[in-house]
């Protein structure tokens, strides 16, 4: 009597494999959506920095007054832009790549190189930064650390930006790793292909135009520049 072929188990059924891949891709899409929202929102901080820096220049040159708080909030926001948008930039595949050699390889080889890089360089580095940055934040929070400059700001918000930013970067790295494996298994598109469409800067410019705040900001910056020039021109 011939032996019966082994029956497929739950783990070996193709449907189970497809469901698992779809679940992982759904998780990756959720991370993409999270970083997309945070990244686009953080680009508005660029506009805020421009307004604050222009206003600070006006009061410094016109009425000879300045504030360390106004100066420090600029680099607080500058840090927020880079850290909160880091996952968004990774999602759009816009981080700097040195692809003089890898650009000559096939898409599959490029994705395998990415997998190796994520597993052995990216993820360990991000986890190390998270491990080291969290105690820095908790120390600033518990001690109520303040700026050493007179009139400066409390330090814990800017300390918190590091773990938040690298957590978003870690999540996006996991999502990118999922997308690489999906492509290599033939169940997803090539995530290394650049997203076609307007850049983040162009999107911000379009949003400013739609909300009709661009002209006001430009006129404010020009007015600040004129006031500074008039002040300097009137000096003996």
Q: Which of 95, 123, 88 has the alpha carbon at shortest distance from 192?
A: 95
Helix (H, G, I), strand (E, B) or coil at 217: helix
Residues in the chain: 236
Q: What is the pLDDT of residue 3?
A: 54
The domain locations on the chain are 31-95+105-233
Q: What is the pLDDT of residue 46?
A: 87
**CB contact at 8 A, 180 and 115:** yes
DSSP 146: B
Q: What is the pLDDT of residue 9?
A: 44
Question: Rounded CA gap, 221 and 187, in Å?
Answer: 51
Q: What is the pLDDT of residue 119?
A: 96
Q: What is the pLDDT of residue 230?
A: 62
Q: What is the pLDDT of residue 97?
A: 75
The rounded average pLDDT for each run of 10 residues, N- to C-terminus, in the chain (236 residues) is 52 59 92 95 89 81 78 92 94 81 86 94 97 96 90 92 97 96 90 74 67 57 58 54
Question: Rounded CA gap, 8 and 13, in Å?
Answer: 6
What is the number of other CB atoms lying within 10 angstroms of the CB of residue 45? 18
């Amino acid at each position: 009597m011939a032996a019966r072929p082994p029956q497929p188990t739950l783990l070996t059924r193709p449907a189970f494999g497809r469901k698992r891949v779809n679940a992982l891709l759904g998780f990756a899409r959720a991370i993409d959506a999270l970083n997309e929202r945070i990244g686009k929102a953080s680009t508005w901080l660029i506009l805020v920095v421009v307004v604050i820096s222009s206003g600070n220049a006006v009061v410094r040159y016109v009425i000879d007054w300045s504030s360390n708080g106004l100066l420090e909030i600029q680099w607080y926001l500058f840090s927020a832009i880079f850290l909160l948008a880091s996952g968004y930039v990774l999602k759009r595949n816009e981080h700097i790549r040195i692809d003089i050699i890898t650009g000559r390889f096939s898409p599959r080889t490029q994705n395998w190189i990415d997998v190796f890089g994520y597993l052995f360089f990216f993820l360990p580095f991000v986890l190390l930064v998270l491990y080291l940055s969290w105690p820095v934040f908790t120390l600033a929070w518990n001690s109520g650390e303040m700026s050493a400059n007179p009139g400066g700001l409390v330090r814990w918000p800017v300390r918190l930006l590091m773990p938040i930013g690298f957590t978003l970067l870690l999540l996006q790295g996991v999502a990118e790793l999922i997308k690489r494996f999906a492509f290599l298994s033939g169940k997803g598109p090539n995530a290394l292909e650049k997203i076609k469409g307007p850049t983040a800067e162009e999107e911000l410019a379009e949003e400013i135009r739609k909300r009709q705040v661009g002209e006001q900001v430009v006129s404010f910056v020009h007015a600040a520049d004129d006031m500074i020039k008039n002040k300097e021109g009137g000096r003996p």
